Chains A and B, each alone.
Chain A
Amino acid sequence: MAEHKKEIDQVTGVETTGHEWDGLKELNHPLPKWWLYMFYGCIVWAVVYWILMPSWPLVNGYTKGLLGYSQRAVVTEEFNAAAAERAETGKMLLEASLDEIQNTPELLEYAMAQGKVAFGDNCAACHGVGATGFEGYPNLQDDSWIWGGDLETLATTIAYGVRADNDDTRYAEMPAFGRDELLEKEQIVQVANYVGSLAGIPTQDGVDLEAGKVVYEENCAACHMDNGKGDTEMGAPNLTAPNFLYNRSIDGIIAQVTTPRHGVMPAWIDRLGETTVKSLAVYVHSRGGGQ
């Protein structure tokens, strides 16, 4: 048995492998040597790889490898590199005024691109992907602004927020006319219907709008102005606009006059930095509602 003779297939003249299945013998067509060495090379490569790179999972953690490679570290490194690169171009944004940014095509394109991404990451959760807002979250597309819609004002609002935990934040509070019993229930209904008439909302039957007007002038006009257009200096919303911050109906106005809701927007300056805040202001302004 020790001597093993090579068997040659009669028909083809090719050596067989000696493997036989039901009388069929496999012909031996050897693989090229270079293929074999490449295969060995791959095995050697794999072993080297195990030693150098993180590879084998263990019960607690994994083998780290001699090179100390870590994708997490690479990400951090790339993140820092990207931040440094952004700082380079961002410096131009930092030095330019908001108007200059808007009037210089290269800066505008950069600010718009950065603003779009920053808006999606930070603002869209409340204001919507299309910046159209939701109930309680202002619509940034239209041209009615609570605090003003020019570039500088937008940048200030984004930087310091509204009723936020920041010393420079914008602050305004509407008195709770109903809860604090500053107005009678009937007066509230009257003033709500009057405000409705200013905004073009159908008013309720049998309500004395003249009386509502008197209540309005005595209690509301100081902030919302006589014509109901509001005042951005005081953060008093325009009551004649087609979009309301809250429920746009007589019942909604009654609810707001009785117990006003006060939404909060965070101050972004510490989190995003001045460059991004500027880009965001330019981006929001470019939606079309900017003044």
Chain B
Amino acid sequence: MSSQVDPIDKEEDESWFASAAKIYPMEVKGRFRKIKWAILFITLGIYYFTPFIRWDRGPLLPDQAVLIDFERKRGYFFFLEIWPQEVYYLAGLLIIASVALFLMNAIAGRLWCGYLCPQTVWTDLFFRVESMIEGDRRKRIALDKQPWNAEKILKKGTKHFLWLMIAWWTGGAWVLYFADAPTLVYDLATGQAALSAYVWIGILTFTTYSLAGHMREQVCVYMCPWPRIQAALTDEHALNVTYRFDRGEPRAHLKESKKLSADGLPAGDCIDCNQCVYACPTGVDIRKGAQLDCIQCGLCIDACDTVMTKVGRPTGLIAYDTDMNIELREKGETPVYRLIRPRTVIYAVIIALIAGVMLYAQLNRSMTSFSVVHDRNPLYVQQSDGSFRNGYSLRLLNKHNNAQSFTLSVEDMPAGTTLEVVGVHKDAANAANDIQLTLTVDADTTRSVRALVFSPAGIALPGSKPMSFKLIDHETGETTVIHDFFRTPGN
């Protein structure tokens, strides 16, 4: 009776959730493996050691080449110094990065996923550690199956310890980008660093350990949006890791295939040895064609080429190729490779354009800046002698790494006008001039001052008289003129 009210039994209930099938990728040797090692060393080298590169910027500024300085609100990248209001450079970089992703995709599929993505690079490193400790595919499968004994505990323990060390170093390198690296390393070691540094190291240790050690291909298959997007971006000319089924099928084991050929029956080059499947870090069978799980790392190409060489057949049964070329070959036509086509050209042009705009903006970046805001309330104040006064907030910005002085003056106002800046006294150079003052701004800072302009008494002015502030940089002679208005009730 109870079974009638409960139509779903326990067994089926459990099948609502699937355990991830563990993948044991086989080690391979070959061209793409070498490329991947090279990229791994270069990218991780950049990541782990960049914070230690020094770059001299003078005595007042940090000498770390790449530094995001939250405390002083500056970003440093070698010769670049970015102020908070210049974060739009970051937007430009992000646009370039995303279009570069499209371009890679149009040329050779998931180059990013297969070679450059941090998830791939760290997972690859963790795989290498795993196979060093536990052995290759078969040994790892055997080790997982065997009961827990001293050997298994030792191997597993060593592996997880090494993984945690790599993960910890990953988190440690991250925080070095946000403070002077050598000082922070010392502070971290002696327990003097800020709590947030330890917390961030903890977080990144955890994410690296769990994502690269445990989640692995599940990050690509379940978490990452990119596989879904890239499927829509690819076209028939994009090179992808492809099983050339025109050559491989019908597949048959080696002996069988020889027998088939001897009998004059069709036999493909694929000997169904499954090495491509064993080598795959995401557990894909590439022979089923392009699929979401395939990150196109090229390791199946290496695995297949090794086998083909052994059995004396031409390599390249699995290779970077296009679906269209397979069709062409099947029809007996020569395959075509078109790297230059509208979409690659457009992507490249967009990248060049944005990079050009950013470069121009950077080269013509002003080292000082000046802004004026007229008081909004009140617009004007009448003095007891009947004259009028207007207030302005001035902001002077000095990106130089030494103090700069400027001459500030008021232009286009009638004779008898006076200029005052709160807290600034007249120096000898401007003693005789009522509308001119010298202002200094310390190195690498902004200075806000309040300027007061007094109109001469007895002169009728329109309700809104155009006038301007002129700022002359003493060092460069650069003149900045900002137009504003002098307000009165008018006539």
Q: Which residues of A contact B (CB under 8 A)?
A: 1-2, 4, 6, 15, 18, 28, 30-36, 102-105, 108-109, 112, 128-130, 132, 139, 141-144, 238, 240-243, 285-289
Decide: B381 and A33 in contact? CB cutoff 8 A. Answer: no
Mask, B70-85, CB within 8 Å of A = 1, is 0000000000000000
- Chain B 2-28 residues near chain A, CB threshold 8 A: 3-4, 7-9, 11-12, 15-20
Decide: A18 and B218 in contact? CB cutoff 8 A. Answer: no
Decide: A132 and B448 in contact? CB cutoff 8 A. Answer: no
> Apart from A132-B377, A241-B384, what 13 extra A-B contacts exist at CB < 8 Å?
A2-B3, A4-B8, A4-B12, A6-B12, A18-B8, A32-B20, A33-B17, A109-B447, A128-B377, A242-B382, A242-B383, A243-B382, A286-B423
CA distance A95 to B91 in the complex (A): 46
A-B contact pairs, 20 of them (CB 8 A): A1-B3, A2-B3, A2-B9, A4-B8, A4-B12, A6-B15, A15-B15, A18-B7, A18-B12, A28-B15, A32-B17, A32-B218, A33-B18, A33-B20, A34-B20, A36-B17, A102-B422, A103-B425, A139-B381, A242-B382
Q: CB within 8 A of A286: which of B215, B382, B422, B447?
A: B422
Chain A positions within 8 Å of B452 at CB level: 288
Chain B residues within 8 Å of chain A by Cβ, number? 35
Decide: B3 and A112 in contact? CB cutoff 8 A. Answer: no
Q: CB within 8 A of A31: which of B16, B386, B422, B448?
A: B16
Decide: B384 and A141 in contact? CB cutoff 8 A. Answer: no
Mask, B429-448, CB within 8 Å of A = 1, is 00000000000000000011
Q: Taking the complex as formed, is B281 at the interface, i.e. its CB lies under 8 A from any CB of chain A?
A: no
Decide: A141 and B423 in contact? CB cutoff 8 A. Answer: no
Decide: A130 and B422 in contact? CB cutoff 8 A. Answer: no
CA distance A288 to B9 in the complex (A): 84
Distance (whole angstroms) from the CB of A290 to the closest CB of chain B: 8
A141 with B422: in contact, given A18-B8, A32-B17, A33-B20 (CB under 8 Å)? no
Chain A positions within 8 Å of B447 at CB level: 105, 109
CA distance A132 to B376 in the complex (A): 12
Q: Taking the complex as formed, is B477 at the interface, i.e. its CB lies under 8 A from any CB of chain A?
A: no
Distance (whole angstroms) from the CB of B475 to the closest CB of chain A: 19
CA distance A128 to B222 in the complex (A): 59
Q: Which residues of B contact A (CB under 8 A)?
A: 3-4, 7-9, 11-12, 15-20, 215, 218, 222, 375-378, 381-384, 386, 389, 391, 420, 422-423, 425, 447-448, 450, 452
Chain B positions within 8 Å of A242 at CB level: 382-384, 386
CA distance A126 to B215 in the complex (A): 64
Chain A positions within 8 Å of B383 at CB level: 142-143, 242
CA distance A289 to B384 in the complex (A): 10
CA distance A288 to B449 in the complex (A): 12
Decide: B17 and A31 in contact? CB cutoff 8 A. Answer: yes
Chain B positions within 8 Å of A36 at CB level: 17
A141 with B381: in contact, given A1-B3, A103-B423, A130-B375 (CB under 8 Å)? yes
Chain A positions within 8 Å of B222 at CB level: 32, 35
Decide: A142 and B16 in contact? CB cutoff 8 A. Answer: no
Nearest residue, chain A, Cβ from B16: A30
Chain A positions within 8 Å of B450 at CB level: 112, 286
Chain A interface mostly: loop
Chain B positions within 8 Å of A238 at CB level: 384
Decide: B11 and A4 in contact? CB cutoff 8 A. Answer: yes
Decide: A4 and B19 in contact? CB cutoff 8 A. Answer: no
CA distance A238 to B383 in the complex (A): 12
Decide: B389 and A288 in contact? CB cutoff 8 A. Answer: yes
Chain B positions within 8 Å of A139 at CB level: 381
Nearest residue, chain B, Cβ from A241: B384
| 6 nearest A-B residue pairs (beta carbon) | A130-B377, A30-B18, A286-B422, A141-B381, A108-B423, A36-B17
Chain A positions within 8 Å of B391 at CB level: 287-288
Distance (whole angstroms) from the CB of B16 to the closest CB of chain A: 5
Nearest residue, chain A, Cβ from B441: A105
Chain B positions within 8 Å of A130 at CB level: 375-378
CA distance A6 to B8 in the complex (A): 11
Chain B positions within 8 Å of A18 at CB level: 7-8, 12
Chain A positions within 8 Å of B218 at CB level: 32, 34
Q: CB within 8 A of B215: which of A34, A104, A129?
A: A34
Distance (whole angstroms) from the CB of A12 to the closest CB of chain B: 15
Decide: B381 and A4 in contact? CB cutoff 8 A. Answer: no
CA distance A1 to B3 in the complex (A): 7
Chain A positions within 8 Å of B18 at CB level: 30-33
CA distance A132 to B389 in the complex (A): 13
Chain B positions within 8 Å of A142 at CB level: 381-384
CA distance A129 to B452 in the complex (A): 18
CA distance A129 to B375 in the complex (A): 12
Distance (whole angstroms) from the CB of A220 to the closest CB of chain B: 18
A28 with B16: in contact, given A141-B378, A142-B382, A286-B450 (CB under 8 Å)? yes
CA distance A128 to B420 in the complex (A): 24
Chain A positions within 8 Å of B3 at CB level: 1-2
Q: CB within 8 A of A33: which of B7, B19, B377, B448?
A: B19
Chain A positions within 8 Å of B4 at CB level: 1
Chain A positions within 8 Å of B11 at CB level: 4
Nearest residue, chain A, Cβ from B422: A286
Nearest residue, chain A, Cβ from B214: A34
CA distance A240 to B384 in the complex (A): 7
CA distance A139 to B383 in the complex (A): 11
Chain B positions within 8 Å of A289 at CB level: 381
CA distance A132 to B215 in the complex (A): 65
CA distance A181 to B386 in the complex (A): 36
Distance (whole angstroms) from the CB of A114 to the closest CB of chain B: 14
CA distance A289 to B17 in the complex (A): 76
Decide: B15 and A129 in contact? CB cutoff 8 A. Answer: no
Chain A positions within 8 Å of B7 at CB level: 4, 18
Nearest residue, chain B, Cβ from A286: B422
